[in-house]
Structure 1
């Protein structure tokens, strides 16, 4: 099971390829849901080159940022080795 930890959002690197998939409407909807229910699903990151790299949860990350949060709960997972 991956480690679940709170992490500063500024410490999470979002790859440019992933940023292109951002939809403002989804961010707004998630922000409203988080206000009502809290963050129910952590985002997933991996450690890489001295930073955390976003794997899953861009819209949740941006919704929390829009709400003015500085930290987010993340799962730290291991990168796959092929």
Structure 2
């Protein structure tokens, strides 16, 4: 079972292809939701040397940044190649 952890937002890298899918309206709506109810679904990251690469949760990550957060809840997943 995966263990929920807190990750430093500054250490999370967002791949260019994933960043291209960003929709500001979703970020704004999520930021409002996070303020009201807290982060409901943690992000997913995979280790990459000294940083982490975002696997899932771009809009949640950007909403947390917009709120001035420096840490975000997430799960560390392994980078398995098929």
- For the superposition of Structure 1 and Structure 2, which TM-score range results when normalised by the shorter chain? over 0.9
TM-score (norm 2): 0.94
Residue pair 1:43, 1:60 contacting (<8 A) in 2 also: yes
Q: Any runs of at least 4 consecutive aligned residues in structure 1 with deviations exceeding 2 A, and if so which?
A: none
Structure 2 unmatched ranges of 5 or more: none
RMSD: 0.9
Structure 1 unmatched ranges of 5 or more: none
Partner of 1:60: 60
CA distance in structure 1 between the partners assigned to 2:62 and 2:28 by the alignment: 9
Residue pair 1:3, 1:77 contacting (<8 A) in 2 also: no
CA distance in structure 2 between the partners assigned to 1:50 and 1:70 by the alignment: 17
Q: CA deviation at 1:50?
A: 2.9
Q: CA deviation at 1:48?
A: 1.8
How many pairs were matched up? Answer: 82
